Amino acid sequence: ATLQAEWPEHVAALQSEGIETAQNAPQGLAIVGMTGSIDNDMWGTDSTIGFDSALARIVDAVDTLTSTARSHQRSFVVEVMGRRCGWLALAAAVATGADYVLIPEAPVANWRQSLERAVQRGRDAGRRKSIVFVAEGAVSLDGQAIRSEMVKHALDQSQESESRITVLGHVQRGGAPSARDRVMPTRMGVAAVDMLLNMDAESEPMVMTTAGDQVASKPLLYCVDKTRQTGAAITDRRFEQALRSRGPAFHDLLQIQFGSTPWIKPPSAQRKLLVVNVGAPAPGMNAALQTAVRWAGNQGVQVFAASEGFRGLLNGNVRLLSWQDVDGLAPMGATILGTNRYVPDPDLPELKAVLEPYQGVVLIGGFAALQIAPAIQAHVPVVVLPATISNNLPGTEHSIGSDTAFNVICEAIDRLKQSAVGSRDRVFFVEVMGRRCGYLARTAGIAAGAEFVYTHEEGVRLAQIQNDIEDLLRAFDSGKSVAIVLASDGASDAYDIHTLARMYGEESKDRFDTRVCVLGHLQQGGRPTAADRLLASRLARAGVDALLDKQSGVIGEIAGLTVVSEFDSLSADVQCRRPSQQPSESASVLGLALPR
C-alpha cells in the first residue's frame, strides 16, 4: 500500500533525472502479491510457496534419522523453522509419526511432564526410538521460549539413553522445489497476471491464495493484518485465537498428532472395523492404515485388516492390529497388507457372512473400491479412502499416492533434461500412467515445463500433431535445444508414445532427434511424499469418524476441506474410469514452455 501511494512520486523523480525507461511509466500502480514463505504463516491461504518443498526436506531428513535412532534406541530432538508458526513442525510430526511436537500455537501445561509421559508411553508400547519436533518459536503456557537444549535436558533426565539434537536450519530453504511448489505458483502466476490486466491504479491490492487445489485471491492488506494479529496473539498468550487463525486443516493435524498416541487401555472387542485394500498399490496406503488403527483405537474401537484384499478376506486371512503393529508404517511405500484388483460378486453369499462381525469397513483403493462399495453398504457402513496414483476418483481433488507419483515424474524429467545438456537438440517423449485420466500428464506437464501434453480427454488428432511439430521446429530455430513431450499411457490407441516419437522424428528435418522414456511402475514405488502421508492421515481419521457415526461414502478433500460424499451423489465415466468432470489446465498454462 505504501508503494502504491508513493508510486507517482517515484516515477516523477526518475523522469526528472532523465531516466529513459521512466518516461512512459504508468502514473498508477496495480498490485497482486504471491506469498513465498516456507513457514506457511500467511493468513488466508492453505499453503504458501515453498512450504511443501521445505516439509519434504524435513521429512526426508527425519526418515533417515529414524534408522539410526531405532538401532541405538535413542531419542532425537529435531528443530525446524517456524518462529511464529508451527505448521512445519506439526505437519512433519504427523508425516513421520513423531512422539511429540512443541509449537507456538498450542502450548500445554507442564510441557516437560507431558513430553516425558508421551515418550515413555511410546517406549512401553514397544518403540525403540523417539522423535520430538520443536518449532524454533515454541513457547510454554506462560510464554517462555522452549529451546531444543531444554527439550534434550528433559529427555535425558527421564531416560537412561542420551538424546541428540538435530537442527535442520537453512537446509529447509534450499534445493529444487517439489512438484506441488512448481504447479501451484504457476497457476497463481497466470491468475495474477489475468487479474492485473483487469485492475487499475485505484484497485485494492490483492494476494493470491489457495484453498486445496483451487486458486483464489483476497485483499492483501487484510491478510497481512490478520497474519500480524496471529503473531500478536502468540506474544500475548491468546493461544486459542492463534490456533483458530491457522484454520481447520491445522486443527485437524493437531488432533491426529495427539489422538494417535499409544492406547492407555486396549480397545473394546464390542466394536470392530475392517480395513481392506482394493486395486493397484499407491504410496501412502500404509500411512492411512496407521492412522486408522491408532485413531480408532483411541476411540475404543478394534481394527482388523485383511491381507491380499478381498481374496484374503474371503479366505479368512484377517488379523487384529495393535498400536505397535502399525508403528513406522507412514514412511513405507506400497502396502504391507498387499492389494489386488479382485472384487467379489456383490451377490456372493459369503460376502455378507465375512462382513457380519464388523460395524464398519474402510476400503483403501481406486475405482474398484468405488464400484464394490455400494454392495458392501447393503450390509454394513463403508467408506472409501481414494488411493490411486492416477487421481481418477470423483469426490476428491487428490487421491492418496498421486503426489508421490507426480514428484517421481518431475524428478525423472529433471534428469532427462540434464542428460540432454551436452547432446542438445533432443526431444524426449515421456509416457506416464493414468490410462484415460490425464491428471498426471497435465500436472507434470506444468511442473516440468513440457512443450506438449497428450491426454485421452483432449484427444490426439493428426492435424494437432502436425501443428505441434511445426511449433516445435520454430522453437528450435529460435534457440531451444531440449524439449519434453508428455503423454498418458492411454491417450490414444493409434498414436502411442512410440508412434508420436517416430512422427516427430520423421518431420524434424534433422533439426532434432527423439528419445522415448516410459516411466512405468516407477511411478507406483518409493516412499510416499509428506503430502501423501498427510492426506492419508486426514482421510483415515475422517473415515473412522464417519463410520462411528454410521455414515457411508467417499472421503475426500475439496477446496481444503475434508468431505464425505454419498456414493449415489458422485458422477463418474465408468468406461474411462475417471470423474465426469475434471479440472482442465488452460492453454496459457500448458503453453508457457514455447517461445511466443
Amino acid 137: pLDDT: 95
Name the residue type at position 316.
G
Helix (H) or strand (E) holding 443: helix 439-448
The average pLDDT across 93-107 equals 97
Residue 356 and residue 444 in one domain: no
Indicate if the pLDDT at residue 596 is higher than 60.
no
334 vs 327: CA distance, rounded Å: 15
DSSP state of 560: T
Q: Which domain holds residue 124?
A: 51-173
For the chain, give the longest Cα–Cα distance: 89
Residue 389 and residue 470 in one domain: no
Residue 274 and residue 394 in one domain: yes
Last residue of a domain, one of 173, 198, 220: 173
Residue 342 and residue 386 in one domain: yes
103 in Cβ contact with 90 (< 8 Å): yes
127 in Cβ contact with 120 (< 8 Å): no
DSSP readout, 487-544? EETTS-SSS-HHHHHHHHHHTSTTS-EEEEEE-GGGGG-SPPPHHHHHHHHHHHHHHH
Residue 390 and residue 274 in one domain: yes
Mean of the per-residue pLDDT values of the chain: 93
Residue 39 and residue 87 in one domain: no
Amino acid 586: pLDDT: 47
CA quadruple 216, 218, 223, 226: dihedral sign: negative
279 vs 433: CA distance, rounded Å: 15
Residue 386 and residue 532 in one domain: yes
Q: Which of 159-168, 353-362, 502-511 has the lowest mean pLDDT?
A: 159-168
The average pLDDT across 105-128 equals 93
**Residue 512, CA distances (Å) to 167, 420, 428, 454, 551 in order:** 48, 11, 10, 20, 57
Task: Tell me if residue 39 is catalytic.
Answer: yes
Amino acid 1: pLDDT: 65
Residue 428 and residue 444 in one domain: yes
Which of the residues 39, 327, 489, 496 is marked catalytic? 39
45 vs 348: CA distance, rounded Å: 48
For residue 545, tell me if it sits in a domain: yes
Residue 392 and residue 533 in one domain: yes
Give the distance, in angstroms, between the CA of residue 39 and the centroid of all CA atoms in the same chain. 16
For residue 261, tell me if it sits in a domain: no
Indicate if the pLDDT at residue 356 is higher than 50.
yes
For residue 576, tell me if it sits in a domain: no
Q: Which of 63-77, 258-272, 578-592 has the lowest mean pLDDT?
A: 578-592
Where is pLDDT greater, at 596 or 150? 150
Residue 311 and residue 363 in one domain: yes
Dihedral-angle region of residue 154 (phi above 0 means left; psi in -120 to 50 means alpha; beta otherwise): alpha
For residue 124, tell me if it sits in a domain: yes
Give the distance, in angstroms, between the CA of residue 105 and the centroid of all CA atoms in the same chain. 23
Indicate if the pLDDT at residue 539 is higher than 50.
yes
Number of folded domains in the chain?
Answer: 4
- 296: CATH: 3.40.50.450
For residue 471, tell me if it sits in a domain: yes
Residue 99 and residue 188 in one domain: no
For residue 292, tell me if it sits in a domain: yes
For residue 262, tell me if it sits in a domain: no
- 66: CATH: 3.40.50.460
pLDDT tens-digit map of 187-197: 999 999 999 99
Tell me if residue 468 falls in helix, strand or coil. helix
Amino acid 543: pLDDT: 98
Q: What is the dihedral of CA 215, 217, 220, 225, to 10 degrees?
A: -80
253 vs 88: CA distance, rounded Å: 11
111 in Cβ contact with 124 (< 8 Å): no
Tell me if residue 86 falls in helix, strand or coil. coil
* Nearest Cα to Cα of residue 363 among 312, 319, 321, 309: 309
* Nearest Cα to Cα of residue 389 among 410, 372, 412, 366: 366
556 vs 562: CA distance, rounded Å: 6
Q: Which of 260-274, 308-322, 391-405, 459-473 has the lowest mean pLDDT?
A: 260-274
Residue 397 and residue 534 in one domain: yes
111 vs 54: CA distance, rounded Å: 27
Strands across the sheet containing 206-211 = 32-34, 206-211, 214-219
Backbone angles phi, psi at 593, to 5 degrees: -80, -15
Number of residues that make up the chain: 596
Last residue of a domain, one of 135, 158, 173: 173
**Residue 595, CA distances (Å) to 47, 430, 475 in order:** 30, 21, 6
45 vs 394: CA distance, rounded Å: 24
For residue 250, tell me if it sits in a domain: no
Last residue of a domain, one of 173, 208, 243: 173
The average pLDDT across 382-410 equals 97
The average pLDDT across 289-306 equals 97
- Model confidence at 72, pLDDT cuts 50, 70, 90, reads confident
Amino acid 196: pLDDT: 94
